[in-house]
């Protein structure tokens, strides 16, 4: 499983707080997702980050 942040991101920072192993904020103030496969032990946190995004900007390849 890999995640992607689309152009809808408003830079609220929630995903990076919910799952910093996968999501981080750029200097431009938007989120990016790790290009690596999500480790098993953070799958739940990553899914919570996705569901918590207020603008549905987080997609995955599942």
Phi/psi for 44 (5° steps) reads -65, -45
CA distance 32 to 58: 9
CA distance 62 to 54: 20
- Is 31 near ligand SF4 (CB under 6 A)? yes
Residue (9 or 47) nearer to ligand SF4, CB: 9
- What is the smallest separation between the CB atom of 33 and ligand SF4, expressed in angstroms? 8
Which one among 9, 19, 46, 47 touches ligand SF4, defined by CB under 6 A?
Answer: 9
Binding site for ligand SF4 (CB under 6 A): 5, 9-15, 31, 53-55, 57-58
């Amino acid at each position: 499983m890999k995640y992607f942040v689309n152009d809808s991101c408003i830079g609220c920072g929630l995903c990076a707080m919910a799952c910093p192993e996968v999501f981080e904020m750029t200097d431009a103030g938007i989120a990016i997702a790790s290009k690596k496969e999500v480790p098993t032990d953070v799958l739940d946190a990553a899914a919570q980050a996705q569901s918590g995004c207020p603008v549905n900007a987080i997609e995955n390849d599942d």
